Amino acid sequence: MDEIRFDTVRRLVLGLGCERGTPAEEMLALAEQALRRAGVSGEALAAVASIDSRRSEPAVLAVAAHFSVPAVFFSAARLEGETPRLKNPSEIVFARVGCHGVAEAAALAAAGASAELAVAKIKSAHATAALAQRVAEFVSNQ
């Protein structure tokens, strides 16, 4: 997995799920919609995340390239571990890929254990997207 670099500007992870062969334009439009809902620009992204079965999916890779961020991928088992934090778990997704959500779960997995969803799952005809925000971690001086 590529290293994700978070800072005060790049603090969000865009989780993506899609059918195979989803047009890159559709995926990018959905990504832009998620960013608008969060009230941020693409500069706020630290990474794009998805399920490992989409590691070679052109639309996912195109979105990561468009925003100049790494694309990171997780196994279905790892994404299933995020189920308690999902806002929109799906039995249909579980039956198809082995986890209860891809976009929300991938965003949360990549953003870390203290991450929260900034934008819950949104859908287009062939894709889903969600944004997770890494919660600031403070170091005590005591």
Q: In the numeric block, which tokens belong to residue 45?
A: 């992204």
Contact 133, 11 (CB under 8 A): yes
Please give the backbone phi and psi of residue 11, each rounded to the nearest 5 degrees, phi first: -125, 0
Stated as kind and residue range, the H or E segment containing 124 is none
pLDDT digits (tens, 9 = 90+) for 19-66: 999 999 999 999 999 999 999 999 999 999 999 999 999 999 999 999
pLDDT digits (tens, 9 = 90+) for 76-113: 999 999 999 999 999 999 999 999 999 999 999 999 99
Cα 124 to chain centroid, rounded? 15
Q: What is the DSSP string of 73-96?
A: EE-HHHHHTTGGG-SS--HHHHHH
d(CA 121, CA 139): 32
